[in-house]
Amino acid sequence: MDNVAAYFASLQGATAGTAMSEFLPNLKKTNITNANFPADYKTKYTMYAVVNYPERPQVRHLYANDVALKAAREGKPIPNGAFLVLEVYTPKLDDKKVPVKGADGNLVPDTLAFITTMAREAGWGKDIPEILRNDDWNYAAFNADLSVRAAANQAECLACHKPLPADSYLFTLKELKEAALKKK
């Protein structure tokens, strides 16, 4: 999958009205845009996980809407209407440039670096080649100011999540279910 994603990512975009691959436009476009990005996710969604990456260094906060939480709570596949937001922060560093941990053991976030999203709606996957399709999930990345990250390539997200159909293409389905059960 990584090689397939790398191949599609290496293709040139449209030139003179055509693309080098008929699939490229379908992989580069996403249905997640500024227009449907949930600006109120911090108050309306549930933060269901914190993931630490001290070696990068990053700390990630993951949020899910009620549609995703309900399905996870019920042990059902995550359905259309689900929207997940992942904030990526650089952590605070001590004087020795080592990430600082809070009382909860997680890295203390400092600066929001970027945001990634995954969402699904009926038909969103129909134009994505089967080799990369994740049902009807689409992915997008935004800068901290919520402008679209131009360098982001949905093909990489699709390839990375592709091996997870039994987990609704989520790396954090277990954490989502645990948070959903606590929220009852």
Q: What does the alpha-carbon distance between residue 33 and residue 55 come to, in Å, rounded to a whole number? A: 31
pLDDT in single tens digits along all 184 residues of the chain: 666 666 666 665 544 444 445 555 556 788 999 899 999 999 999 999 999 998 889 999 999 999 999 999 999 999 999 999 999 999 999 999 999 999 999 999 999 999 999 999 999 999 898 989 999 999 999 999 999 887 778 888 999 999 999 999 999 999 999 999 998 7
Query: Rounded to whole angstroms, what are the CA distances from 30 to 35, 148, 150?
Result: 12, 11, 12
User: Residue 181 gets which letter from DSSP?
Assistant: H
Angle, vertex CA 60, rays to CA 114 and CA 62, nearest 5: 95
User: In this structure, which amino acid lies at residue 146?
Assistant: L
User: Contact at 8 Å (CB) between 35 and 50?
Assistant: no
Q: What does the alpha-carbon distance between residue 15 and residue 29 come to, in Å, rounded to a whole number? A: 16
User: Contact at 8 Å (CB) between 46 and 154?
Assistant: no
Q: What does the alpha-carbon distance between residue 31 and residue 26 come to, in Å, rounded to a whole number? A: 10
pLDDT given at position 14: 46
pLDDT given at position 9: 63
pLDDT given at position 54: 87
Q: What does the alpha-carbon distance between residue 63 and residue 183 come to, in Å, rounded to a whole number? A: 13
Tell me how long the chain is. Answer: 184
CATH code: domain 2-183 is 3.50.70.20
pTM of the model: 0.85
pLDDT given at position 1: 61
Going across the sheet that includes 137-143, the strands are 46-53, 58-64, 83-91, 109-120, 137-143
Question: What is the token pair recorded at 149?
Answer: 């990250």
pLDDT given at position 16: 46
Q: What does the alpha-carbon distance between residue 13 and residue 95 come to, in Å, rounded to a whole number? A: 44
